[in-house]
Amino acid sequence: MPSSPGYKRNYKQENAYKSKPEQIKKRVDRNAARRKMEAAGKVSKQDGKDVDHKNGKTSDNKMSNLRAIPKSKNRSYPRTKTAGKK
């Protein structure tokens, strides 16, 4: 954040990407997957793991498509449609 005199933050511009309908839907799907894995006892908030979708589709929240992996592994590849998939 610049510290020049008279600087005003533009929160609307900063959060424009986060408020797009498709981004909101994807975030809701990712949060639903996390809650499902927490309910199954496979992850917790303190364990430092992310919930990964094996096929890369965040809307596919079947237990067979979800897995808990370390954050470092899940965030080590670029975000594309085939991110981290073989």
Q: For the whole prediction, is pTM greater than 0.85?
A: no
Sign of the alpha-carbon dihedral angle for 43, 44, 49, 50: positive
Mean pLDDT over residues 6-20, rounded? Answer: 77
24 in Cβ contact with 47 (< 8 Å):
no
Domains of the chain, residue spans: 43-79
Q: Mind listing the pLDDT tens digit for each residue in 71-80?
A: 888 887 776 6
Give start and end residues of each alpha helix (H) in the chain: 11-14, 21-39, 71-74
pLDDT category at 1 given cuts 50, 70, 90 is low
Q: 19-73, pLDDT tens digit by residue?
A: 788 888 888 999 999 999 999 999 988 888 999 888 888 889 999 999 999 988 8
Sign of the alpha-carbon torsion through 20, 79, 61, 42: negative
Distances from the Cα of 26 to the Cα of 6, 16, 37, 80, angstroms: 37, 15, 17, 14
